[in-house]
A = this chain, B = another copy of it.
């Protein structure tokens, strides 16, 4: 398999407010034609560091793609430094200059002298036309490496890559297709997941497996390559099947779907309706469910009852019950779930009450104590959770656990 490296060039990419998004897009394009990105470097307008980065990349990877630093100013050093790193000269290209001049003319402007720098082309490089800007790109083969220079602005870079670079790389990469799949897990810890599935996935180099922990979700990323897409998909099916045997219903998504999409789809397919009553999650569950287009079919109503009075007034939770057990209790969670279900006349009522912190915790009921409850016309059940994390995370994990409770009921 061919490997590529991406070098993003520009001091602005080393500030706190800018991130290099080109490389994400390029990675997707490269992956899809069977080229793996092994390293990304972000370097400023610094001659020595850029030269070293390019030399290192050429030593390691068969494809080196540079973006940025092809503009007309002093700061735009990519042309000069890339040439130096490869021991090639920069040659003034009259034809390119004429092209740039014509582009300016077409906007009724004359070309600033400074832009003539952009007509300096690395010896032996093919010029890549840039229909959306003045900086041409370059493509060359150097010591059996493909070297690509593209401008930084995405609207210039993307069409140039797709139209002019990708066809060359496809020819080089040959018959390799790479397919990815994301499995998502709820209700198990990262180490527990790894212990159960490591005996399986470590047997395979293809597909490759990566386990990611993201908030309270665990993602299992599988990447397979084959001569055809179908061959790669079959490899994924095989491994995903074995992983499913080990993790069962803890896997809630096999194609990267979100929890709210999965729950929503099941509700929609079964024709069930849902109402949600939230205390500590403050509307997060409703917000997640309604982020899914078409959710109005099954999501009927949400209530955020922060105060005890609101729980009684809006959900009919007995004030005495709250008095006796406290607002954060199994009894109140169940009463909230039943209350919101009756009120909205839905098939399911889902409720959360808890202490998200940072204040409000006691020794008996510490921050992170959360009760979730689910009610349908047959019965009402609850779960008690003690969640780690800060306010934001406790809220998110509570919402995830509540949605997962509903998902498991719908299986």
Contacts and interface: CB of A to CB of B under 8 A. Distances in A.
B306 A303 contact: no
A302 B282 contact: yes
A310 to B, nearest CB: 4
Interface residues of A, number: 103
B305 A190 contact: no
A24 interface: yes
A370 to B, nearest CB: 14
Q: How many copies does the complex hold?
A: 2
B44 A42 contact: no
Interface stretch (A15-23, A79-87, A229-237, A375-383): A15-23
Interface string A27-65: 110010000111111111110010011001000100000
A108 B386 CA distance: 10
Contact of A310 (B13, B291, B344): B344
A120 to B, nearest CB: 16
Interface centre among A15, A75, A393 (most CB of B within 10 A): A15
Interface string A281-314: 1111111011101111001111111110110011
Interface in A330-362: 343-344, 357-359
23 contacts: A11-B210, A12-B210, A12-B221, A15-B27, A15-B180, A16-B27, A16-B28, A16-B31, A39-B49, A41-B41, A52-B60, A72-B194, A107-B386, A155-B393, A276-B304, A287-B287, A293-B359, A300-B307, A300-B310, A302-B302, A302-B306, A303-B303, A313-B343
Interface of A: 10-17, 19, 21, 24-25, 27-28, 31, 36-46, 49, 52-53, 56, 60, 71-75, 107-109, 112-115, 132, 153, 155, 180, 189-192, 194-195, 198, 202, 208, 210-213, 221, 276, 278, 281-287, 289-291, 293-296, 299-307, 309-310, 313-314, 343-344, 357-359, 386, 388-393, 395
